[in-house]
Structure 1
Amino acid sequence: MSSIELEGFEELEELLQDMTLTETDEKKAMKAGIDVIYKAVESNTPTGETGKMKEKIKEKVSKDDFSITGQVIMGAWYTGFEEFGTSQQKHHVGFFERSVNSSQNEALELLAKGLLK
């Protein structure tokens, strides 16, 4: 009788097992990416008279239903007035958006590096 012998499946299975990411790995990668955005937002946040807006910035990495989510949270209640302006004040309009846009490529690179290691 003739037969076909296939080799290399053990190596393929080992390679696939090594590619599996744990939730901890995903959270570490997201934390590295969100840190870059957090630092950019913190450095571009206006200080104002009290300087409290910088103190209220928080970063959060959490697991939702099927994904890992990273957030930079501006905790001061008046942050919206600074970001979008008012009829009397438009000095810092768009500071948060500019910070995120300027750092998003670096954050995505760190995220990809952490996930594809």
Structure 2
Amino acid sequence: MRATPFLMFQGDANGALALYRSAFPDFEELLLQEHPEGPQAGQVAMARIRVGGLEIMLYDSAPVHAFTFTPSTSIFIECDDEAQLRALAEALGDGGGVMMPIGNYGFSRLFTWLADRFGVSWQLNLK
């Protein structure tokens, strides 16, 4: 058995992939299948990526839904150093929103919680 986080986008999964590809130095694209034709041509039918050792699945939903991502579910990244945390925060936070700015919160000497411009929530923590 294996569990894998699954992110459902509504037409902008390729944009999210481009952001994650540029933000994460260890980004690996394991699978990318796009719809070849029809109304979803060029959108992601299924993708698998790996960041920080975590495999994540992404796809674009054909039906439009009345819901999207919520900060109550997030991807927690343990950063190796302050420079890495700050670089990820800048890249992922560009066009998104910050829920907790970079700072010392007692439980962590350096932490931030943000949502990227696609609404995916990220918690960045300095080990």
What is the TM-score of this pair, normalised by structure 2?
0.30
What is the TM-score of this pair, normalised by structure 1?
0.32
Report the structure number with the largest CA radius of gyration.
Answer: 1
Q: By percentage of residues, which structure has more helix?
A: 1
Using CA pairs under 8 Å that are at least 6 residues apart, name the structure with larger relative contact order, 1 or 2.
1
Q: By percentage of residues, which structure has more strand?
A: 2
